[in-house]
Amino acid sequence: MADDKAFTGSIPKIYETYLVPLIFEHYAADLAARVAARSPQHVLEIAAGTGVVTRAMLRALPRSVEIIATDLYPAMLERAAAHTLPRPVAFQQADAMELPFDDQTFDVVVIQFGVMFFPDKPKALSEARRVLRPGGALIFSVWDRIDENELAAAIHVALAEFFPDDPPMFLPRAPYGYFDHAAIAADVAAGGFRNPPEIVTVPARSRASNASDAAVGYCHGSPLRAEIEARGALEHATDAAEKAIEQRFGAGPIETKIQAHVITVER
């Protein structure tokens, strides 16, 4: 199995250029609004990636709010810190399995599309709970099943046809593999939260200038790349994905359905 957490090498730059505007920006604004509605003073972001949620929170929250943005991979945080920001943010490398913060430090912990990559979800959720103050909230998002995310589904089918004997399974296994409400609620409870989570399904639209940008974003800008490269055909497989996107959505600007779940649970 490929490393489903490997956001290294050239992936951060391609991820930021193609995937962030394609599928992440809408949900970043949504999460930032949910955080702002709780009027926090101290916010921790886990799995911040290249900072799309960080930047959305800077726009949504008063200047007095402290934001610490963490990620497992320094290369992702370097991309985040390279942006021109309206005020200072503390970027810090941290493992969600073992957060380097004191108990009851934050009013809100926020995680956009990171929980599905955690190797031990209850452990990571227990760490989020540990650093939350009483009455604080964990807010995180996960993708719905791949069939509810049209572009990812089209790419997965195209790659399965291109590699019929050994199809890459990263997309349905990892980013789109943690959508079941009961499983999420069970992990939240196993993480020590006594309150039941609120789970809201949020549909949105994904837009790209063309099929090539979408194919490059998924095939080159995510850990899917490692599975394709292991089969020795990155460029040809990306071309196959691009052709499949064109056939289904058109060669010019494309617009497709995406869908996620947003989970809120109070400590």
- Residues 222 and 191: their CA atoms lie apart, in Å, by 28
Distance CA 137, CA 108 (A): 5
Query: What is the CB neighbour count within 10 angstroms for residue 1?
Result: 9
Can you state the angle between helices 181-190 and 121-131, rounded to 10 degrees? 60
Residue 188 lies in a domain: yes
- How much is the average pLDDT of 62-76? 96
Domain that holds residue 202: 11-266
Q: Check residue 255 and give left, alpha or beta (phi > 0: left; psi -120 to 50: alpha).
A: beta
**Geometric angle at alpha carbon 54, from 81 and 132, rounded to 5°:** 120
Residue type, 265: V
What pLDDT band is residue 251 in, cutting at 50, 70 and 90?
Answer: confident
Domain total of the chain: 1
Q: Is residue 1 part of a domain?
A: no
Residue owning tokens 């199995």: 1
- Average pLDDT (185-213) is 97
Query: What CA–CA distance (Å, rounded) separates 222 from 216?
Result: 9
Six token digits for residue 22:
């394609």
Q: What is the pTM of this model?
A: 0.94
Predicted pLDDT at 6: 61
Q: Is residue 6 one of the residues assigned to a domain?
A: no
What is the rounded distance in angstroms from the CA atom of residue 55 to the CA atom of residue 25?
10
Q: Mean pLDDT over residues 52-77, rounded? A: 96
Q: Grade residue 118 by pLDDT with cuts at 50, 70 and 90.
A: very high
For every residue of 155-186, which 3-state class applies, written as one string? HHHHHHHHCCCCCCCHHHHCCCCCCCHHHHHH
Q: What CATH number is associated with residue 80? A: 3.40.50.150
Q: How many residues does the chain have?
A: 267
Q: Which of 4-18, 29-43, 202-216 has the lowest mean pLDDT?
A: 4-18
The rounded distance, in Å, linking the Cα atoms of 219 and 242 is 10
Under the banding of pLDDT at 50, 70 and 90, the label for residue 261 is very high
In the chain, % of residues over pLDDT 70: 97
In a domain, 169, yes or no: yes
Residue 223 lies in a domain: yes
pLDDT at 105 over 60: yes
Mean pLDDT of the chain: 95
Residue 14 pLDDT more than 60? Answer: yes
Nearest 5°: phi and psi at 247? Answer: -65, -35
Flag whether 196 is in a domain.
yes
> Is residue 2 a part of any domain in this protein?
no
Tell me the longest C-alpha to C-alpha distance in the chain: 55
Mark 154-188 as b/e (b = at least 16 C-beta within 10 Å): bbbebbeebbeeeebbbbbbbbbbbbeeeebbebb
What's the pLDDT score for residue 1? 37
Is pLDDT at 3 greater than 80 in this prediction?
no
Determine how many CB atoms are found less than 10 A away from the CB of residue 236: 12
Q: Region 55-76: what's the mean pLDDT? A: 96
Residues 123-179: tens digit of each pLDDT: 999 999 999 999 999 999 999 999 999 999 999 999 999 999 999 999 999 999 999
